[in-house]
């Protein structure tokens, strides 16, 4: 499997090199700063879930060099600090360093790139929202294509390099949407590969987890007084295998979501019914046969690049009910500081 991904990487790099062979029409240097503040209080009572408060800030300044209108190099850092600083608290600096080729149809990036804009719409059953707090970078490759009502993205996120103490781990995912008028189809898929360390003296087993989800929905926003009204339903198939321990297992289920938005308020409800999923990177509430999540939201700050949102979430599961209150604030700004025509 590793060889397949290496070949894919080579093909994408060759495509990228051919795309950059062009006349430099315009060069620019500029900067972007992304500030993200979060206060997420999780009063969880169900098994598999951890009650905790996630409270801190993430500052992400970067500088970009635009070779021309399509090609650029970006460098910077994420500084992530939880409040209540002590030796066991998170105090993390992560590099931002990637190449990007982008035109009206394609967006390709290779390196350490910010996760939020690229994967913010991936459902929680696929990738838990804690990734936005604890792992702000997508480390690997990202390729998306969009045209008219279609957008499809492929990403590879390398989680861990193989060593004597640590396993090789990576995630490969697909996410997309195709809209035809008020109707749309969404697809998501993910493969998590947990390989071995380089230490042959210990007993280890390769783990594979995967998920495929397909949803169909209708956007009623233009037919009601609401600013937004969407309803979607679909199927989920999860896969799980630990090599030499047990063969491939599958878990099937149905998932449905309704979203209502009016001015600065919104309501979202998601219901899952089916087999319990074994998804190491997904939201832990889906490790059960039935689950319902209700979100009540208010957006007190929304102006330009400023977005502040409060969400009260209620989690209903057979083993207990839980609640969560989260406030997030994101402010993004940037400017060109040098240009050569």
Does 309 have pLDDT greater than 90? yes
**How many domains is the chain partitioned into structurally?**
1
Residue 203 Cα distances to 3, 9, 163, 240, angstroms: 24, 31, 15, 19
As a whole-number percent, the residues of the chain with pLDDT over 90 amount to 75
Domain-located, residue 157: yes
Domain-located, residue 134: yes
Contact 232, 186 (CB under 8 A): yes
Pick the more confident residue, 71 or 339: 71
Domain-located, residue 5: no
Residues 87-114 have pLDDT tens digits of 777 668 999 999 999 999 999 999 999 9
Taking residues 255-261, what's their average pLDDT?
98
Q: Which domain holds residue 128?
A: 30-340
Residues 13-63 have pLDDT tens digits of 444 444 444 444 578 999 999 999 999 999 998 888 889 999 999 999 999
CATH at residue 98: 2.40.160.10
Alpha carbons 249 and 207: distance in angstroms, whole number: 12
Where are the extended beta strands (E) located within 44-168?
52-66, 71-82, 91-102, 106-114, 137-147, 150-160
In 57-70, which positions are buried (b, 16+ CB within 10 angstroms) versus exposed (e)? ebebebebebbeeb
Domain-located, residue 12: no
Residues 266-300 have pLDDT tens digits of 999 999 999 999 988 999 999 999 999 999 999 99
Residues 158-201 have pLDDT tens digits of 999 999 998 999 999 999 999 999 999 999 999 999 999 998 88
Q: Which residues pair with 220 in a beta bridge?
A: none
Domain-located, residue 19: no
Domain-located, residue 227: yes
Domain-located, residue 1: no
Alpha carbons 135 and 285: distance in angstroms, whole number: 20
Q: Kindly report the average pLDDT of the chain as a whole number.
A: 90
Which phi and psi (to 5°) does residue 206 adopt? -75, 135
Alpha carbons 142 and 111: distance in angstroms, whole number: 9
Domain-located, residue 297: yes
């Amino acid at each position: 499997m590793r060889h397949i991904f290496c070949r894919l990487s080579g093909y994408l790099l060759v495509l990228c090199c051919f795309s950059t062979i062009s006349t430099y029409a315009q060069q620019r240097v500029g900067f972007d700063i992304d500030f993200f503040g979060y206060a997420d209080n999780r009063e969880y009572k169900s098994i598999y879930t951890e009650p905790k408060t996630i409270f801190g800030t993430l500052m992400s300044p970067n500088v970009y060099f635009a070779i021309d209108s399509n090609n650029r190099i970006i460098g910077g850092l994420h500084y992530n600090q939880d409040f209540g600083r002590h030796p066991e608290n998170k105090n993390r600096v992560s590099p931002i360093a990637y190449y990007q080729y982008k035109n009206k149809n394609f967006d390709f990036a290779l390196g350490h790139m910010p996760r939020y804009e690229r994967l913010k719409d991936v459902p929680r059953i696929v990738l838990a929202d804690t990734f936005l707090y604890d792992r702000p970078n997508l480390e690997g490759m990202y390729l998306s294509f969009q045209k008219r009502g279609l957008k499809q993205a492929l990403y590879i996120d390398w989680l861990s390099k193989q060593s004597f103490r640590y396993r090789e781990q990576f995630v490969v995912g697909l996410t997309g949407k195709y809209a035809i008028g008020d109707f749309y189809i969404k697809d998501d898929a993910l493969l998590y590969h947990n390989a071995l360390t380089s230490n042959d003296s210990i007993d280890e087993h390769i783990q594979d987890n995967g998920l495929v989800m397909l949803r169909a929905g209708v956007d009623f926003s233009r037919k009601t007084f609401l600013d937004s009204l969407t309803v979607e339903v679909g199927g989920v198939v999860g896969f799980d295998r630990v090599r030499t321990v047990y063969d491939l297992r599958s878990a099937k289920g149905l998932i449905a979501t309704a979203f209502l938005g009016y001015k600065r308020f919104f309501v979202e409800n998601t219901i899952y019914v089916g087999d319990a999923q074994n998804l190491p990177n997904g939201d832990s509430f889906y490790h059960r046969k039935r689950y319902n999540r209700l979100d009540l939201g208010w957006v007190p700050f929304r102006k330009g690049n400023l977005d502040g949102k409060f969400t009260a979430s209620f989690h209903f599961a057979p083993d207990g009910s839980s609640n969560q209150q989260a406030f997030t604030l994101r402010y993004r700004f940037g400017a060109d500081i040098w240009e050569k025509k």
